[in-house]
Structure 1
């Protein structure tokens, strides 16, 4: 089995994680599904847990990452704001840059693993 290398960048605001791998993945799922509840189902988490993560993120930011519309005749939904889109873009760019910059060391470490 080929080794998997994963960076786990977390940005803290005070003692809380404002931006991290789980929250970024949740943002991507919200963007793809248009719904916090559908995104939560993709991760096997409750709507309440997903909402809590979104709320924590929104409160830590200058502008919210997710904009929600309450249900009704046409249903509710959620979309990423410009801030939310920027978080995903920058976070994934940092991961790619870090992986490229560390490629030699990653290769050296993985060569040390048992096959």
Structure 2
């Protein structure tokens, strides 16, 4: 793989206070919940345990003024989860910030890419 093929990007992590942060993992989990309708399925897609996915959802729901994810228990009709309006807004705002950071830093990213070491075997 040449330097031009290597991926260089922006990973944005927002820290609101010592114990409250939001970053790419939580954003990906929200996207997975929106896509699958399930916290467990979203976690599996990311290679995380059901317990870890639930813990992250609980953290996000506690961190913001209103919950980001609503869930219902299983049963005859099955359970599920969905993003609330707040969850959709947080995800949209986060992805917009990522895009702005990526666009604003495009020249610097290209400069860093040019300075990368060639991958072995390329």
Residue 112 of structure 1 and its aligned partner are, at CA, apart by: 1.1
Hey, what's the Cα distance between the residues in 1 that align with 2:29 and 2:109? 27
Q: Answer 1 or 2: higher relative contact order, Cα 8 Å, separation at least 6.
A: 2
CA distance in 2, matches of 1:8, 1:16: 19
Partner of residue 55 from structure 1, selected from 54, 58, 62: 58
Q: CA deviation at 1:63?
A: 0.5
- Aligned pair partner of 2:17 in 14, 21, 42: 14
> Partners in 1 of 2:11 and 2:77 — Cα distance?
38
| Structure 1: gaps spanning 5 or more residues | none
- Say how many residue pairs are matched: 115
The range that moved more, 104-113 or 23-32, is: 104-113
**Structure 1 runs of 4+ off > 3 angstroms?**
none
Are the equivalent residues in 2 in contact too, given 1:13–1:60 (CA < 8 A)? no
Q: What is the CA RMSD across the aligned residues, in angstroms?
A: 1.2
CA distance in 2, matches of 1:15, 1:91: 19
CA distance in 2, matches of 1:41, 1:89: 23
> Which consecutive residues of structure 2, in runs of 5 or more, have no partner in the other structure?
none
Contact 1:34–1:78 at 8 Å: present in 2 too?
yes
Question: TM-score w.r.t. structure 1 length?
Answer: 0.93
> 1:86 and 1:77 mapped to 2: Cα distance?
20
The TM-score with structure 2 as length reference comes to 0.88
Provide the residue aligned with 2:102 in structure 1. 99
Structure 1 residue 60: Cα displacement: 0.5
Alpha-carbon offset, residue 54 of structure 1: 0.4
